[in-house]
Amino acid sequence: MNRLAPLSEEPTNDEEEDNNNSSKKVSSWRNWLKSHFSLLFNKKSDLKILLSVLGCPLFPISPHAGQPNTHVSSSAEYIIQHFTAATGCRKLEGKVKNVFATGKVRMAMVDELGSSGSSTAVGPTGVSQKGCFVMWQMVPDKWLIELVVGGHKVVAGSDGNVAWRHTPWIGAHAAKGGVRPLRRVLQGLDPLAVSAVFSSAQYMGEKRIMGVDCFVLKLSADHTDLADRSDNTAEMIKHVIFGYFSQRSGLLVYLEDSYLTRIQSPGSRPTYWETTMATKIEDYRTVEGVMIAHGGQSSAIITRFGDNLKVGPAITRMEETWTIDDLAFNVPGLSMDCFIPPEEVQKDYPEENLDWRSPLHRTPTPPENEKLASPGPPPIRVSITEMAGRGVFATRRIGSGDLIHTAKPLVSHPSLSSIHSVCYFCLRKLKPVTSSEDCNVRFCSQECEEQSKVFVAVERKADWSAYDDYCRTRGLKYPLLVKRLACMVVSGVASADCLDILQPASLSSEMISEMGEGFSLLQSAFMKAKARDECMAFLTEQWYINVLARFRINSFRIELAGGSYEDLHSLAAASVETEAAVGNAVYMLPSFYNHDCDPNVHIIWIDNVNARLKALREIEAGEELRICYIDASMDHDARQTILFQGFGFRCSCLRCSSGD
């Protein structure tokens, strides 16, 4: 199959491909060499080299490929068993559909002080480039990474069939060879993938690295895969990987991989390029009970050598420091559209392969006896924006009035004034009751009662009168959400860090000190109820503050519109007549929407806490989707004041810029 220019894992050429077939081989070889020489000796291109090499390298072995029939030594097996036990990753098996991660990177070229100098003795040259990334992974083999460094954005993805990359300087290009995972995922981010790839590894012995005694496991890319990744100009000779597992902790603490490429022009002697990348993997922390690495350093060394070079080997070094900010499993609403390669890469596909990848490509006329196909996943993706961190973007055109997606809350709670008139779980309005059953919370359905059973049981063990009074007298609503979340964590239906992915409000020391009373009341309610210590370990003042800081700017005030949501006009009329808010809730995806005083999307609630995100007007593919966090009918100054006090930013949307 003819593919586009290969996804080179070395620095790449920014000149246009010569499309003349007869001279293609020679010219692509010339371009390859020219680009490498010019890039390696031209400091202006540092950022391109950094992004090309460190940005989104692939790992040569897929965790989902069939295991090769190699003999697995019992030592390797023991090391992997130790690793899976240490990370606790078995509990994710079969349960994780997708993983979402965001993080930061800092990249720099490193001065070469003699090829034998140790990398710790050399420092970065020039400025180090800062950046951030968003990563989606859908099990198995589908992934997407967007990385912005120094104002340049690189996107790479895999739809399970082809891996591709898009850079500002060469556009989109497909990877040669089979689909492989992102190397970043193997850097301690996905322990299941680590154990899957290394389960067929060879045990190499023990080695002390960075002061840690490690067991060393080795993997090699097989010959067919290397051949697939080669072409007429560049031949992949070998690609080996070493994983260093701490003897004490069992964790993967160091990952090294190295590949050798032979570049040969017709009638001349070959040049060899060796690229070695080594990563320290650190800062393991638990996410939903599984140990995930949250930081580390990678260094890459590219060495060029060969008979036709007058000088000795030429070496280029670079370094990256990375941290993971947020990581979450099974984020709802992840669209398969995320993983569709750019159009240029799609041209490589035979047409008949297209239909499974997206609802957009489905054959238009299904058999008559077949039910109407489900509308498919929501047409959105979460990505980094230039101004406001994360944002939500349309992956295709969305019609005015279309329901974009729905969202269930992570945590919700009725307001104290509605507590006897709405469902304690879904906030649906209930019929008035006789006074005899007035004192207890109620549910709209067996289903809601069932879903609340465990955390309500925890809640009922404690006396909340002092805490509720504290909320009522001060008119506080967020501490009620904290109480609900605490009960959910104690009962095991939520993890203590489930909100960490959301942006926290920045709190003044005054605000923090005011939270002390709420925390003491919450803690004493649990203590008087004699909750078991091991269940309460998470409940620290810092946890209380962290959670409250997230509720502050991510909670939605739930006002039920009732009636049919399909008619926007009747909805607008209904929302005027509706009563005060029935409660508050926090959601995952809706929290990623940025604000606009003239929004293109709005969030509404019809009869319960489940939110609906609807398009207010026609939205083009690629456009950012924004909601209005406040009452949009307020004037300019009032909006600015509320947004600054409540959300900590000055709005510079088009409407605000125009002075309206």
Both tokens of 628, joined, read 């209005």
79 Cβ contact list (under 8 Å, min separation 6): 198, 203, 215, 217, 245, 250
Compare residues 195 and 584 and give the one whose CB is closer to Zn ion: 584
Q: Which of 592, 610, 614 is nearest to 602 (CA)?
A: 614
Distance of CA 520 to the CA centre of its chain: 35
Please state the closest distance from residue 299 (CB atom) to Zn ion, in A: 44
Compare residues 99 and 597 and give the one whose CB is closer to Zn ion: 597
The sign of the CA dihedral 638, 639, 644, 646 is: positive
Contact 359, 376 (CB under 8 A): yes
Please state the closest distance from residue 107 (CB atom) to Zn ion, in A: 34
| Distance (Å, whole) CA 242 – CA 198 | 9
Element (H, E) at 551: helix 541-554
Q: Which of 507, 488, 508 is nearest to 498 (CA)?
A: 488
| Distance (Å, whole) CA 133 – CA 147 | 4
The sign of the CA dihedral 208, 211, 212, 213 is: positive
Q: How far is CA 148 from CA 105, 239, 344, in A?
A: 9, 28, 21
Q: Which of 396, 380, 336 is nearest to 161 (CA)?
A: 336
Contact 133, 102 (CB under 8 A): yes
568: phi then psi, degrees, rounded to nearest 5: -65, -30
The half-sphere exposure of 468 on its side-chain side, counting CA atoms within 13 A, is: 12
Element (H, E) at 217: strand 212-220
Helices (H), 140-229: 183-186, 191-198, 223-228
Place of tokens 């949009």: 632
Residue 46's CB is within 10 A of a number of other CB atoms, namely: 21
Both tokens of 83, joined, read 């690793």
CA gyration radius, the chain: 28
| Distance (Å, whole) CA 44 – CA 53 | 16
Both tokens of 625, joined, read 């989707």
Applying CB under 5 A, which residues contact Zn ion?
Answer: 423, 425-426, 428, 444, 448, 597, 651, 653, 656
Q: What is the DSSP annotation of 151-169?
A: TEEEEEEEESS-EEEEETT
Q: Which of 441, 531, 445 is nearest to 486 (CA)?
A: 531
Compare residues 426 and 462 and give the one whose CB is closer to Zn ion: 426
| Distance (Å, whole) CA 566 – CA 471 | 36
